Amino acid sequence: MKRTLICAFILCVSSTPSLSGLAPLEAVLFDVDGTLCDSDPLHYYAFRELLQEIGFNGGVPITEDFFVENIAGKHNEDIATLLFPDDHPRGVKFLEDKEAMFRRFAKEQVKPIDGLYKLRKWIEDHGLKRAAVTNAPRLNADLMISILGLSDFFDYVVLGSDCDRAKPFPDPYLKALEVLGVSKDHTIVFEDSVSGIKAGVAAGMPVIGLTTRNPEHLLMQAKPTFLIKDYEDPKLWAALEELDKKATGSA
């Protein structure tokens, strides 16, 4: 019994998340929806209402599981193809209407993920470069970043539509590294979706996944470095403290 407990303790210690290999850290990259703010419920509501209105799925409302598995984190071009495989122009118009509905909700209801401003201060205090990297349309991204008071925080905002391929391909994150002039070996990514985590990992960077709305087992399939509940999570701050120690050469 004693040996079992010791082994369990060693396993726990050895699995403690580590970011120390990134020292010295140069940059931090953030997704927007679900990563800076818990906006997915607003997207889900807009999709559910408008799809039911046009008789999608026989008029049966889409479920949250359908939204998570097929829509969350994906680029609108891909969503249009999924929802309207035989009429892409209709899909594009539908998504324009859906985004307009989302922005009406967002103005009143978008709130930051817990601990976001604490992490912002840490990043600013360390003089790190930063970018938002999102599949959201420009109007959505600018609105949410503005509502959250982060317009002056980000050096760049990179959109999936700025690239040949959006997430889950690595192109948006590779573009962010290029415009910031930083190395993938010294940059962290924060993401909340399978699509986004896959993109960051494919770009060669460690990705910290947020369990804002998506199930942990799905996120883990995309191979994040570790998962956190929000930016108050002790796992995150323990990893950042270790990173600081490595950067300063302290024990």
Q: Which of 31, 38, 78, 192 is catalytic?
A: 31
Q: Annotated catalytic, 125?
A: no
Q: Are 161 and 99 in contact (CB under 8 A)?
A: no
Is 162 noted as a catalytic residue in this protein? no
**Tokens 């359908």 identify what position?**
66
Beta partners for residue 130, in sequence order: 28
Q: What end-to-end distance do the CA atoms of the chain give, in Å?
A: 33
Cis peptide before 41 (omega within 30 of 0): no
3-class SS at 202?
Answer: helix
Question: Of 33, 38, 40, 233, which residue is the catalytic one?
Answer: 33
Q: Which residue spans within the chain are E strands per DSSP?
A: 27-30, 129-134, 156-159, 187-191, 207-210, 226-228
Question: Do residues 175 and 158 lie in contact, with contact meaning Cβ atoms separated by under 8 Å?
Answer: yes
Classified as helix, coil or strand, 75 is: coil
The Cα–Cα gap between 157 and 143 comes to 12
128-137 burial by CB neighbour count: b if 16+ within 10 A, else e? bbbbbbbbbb
Residue numbers annotated as active site? 31, 33
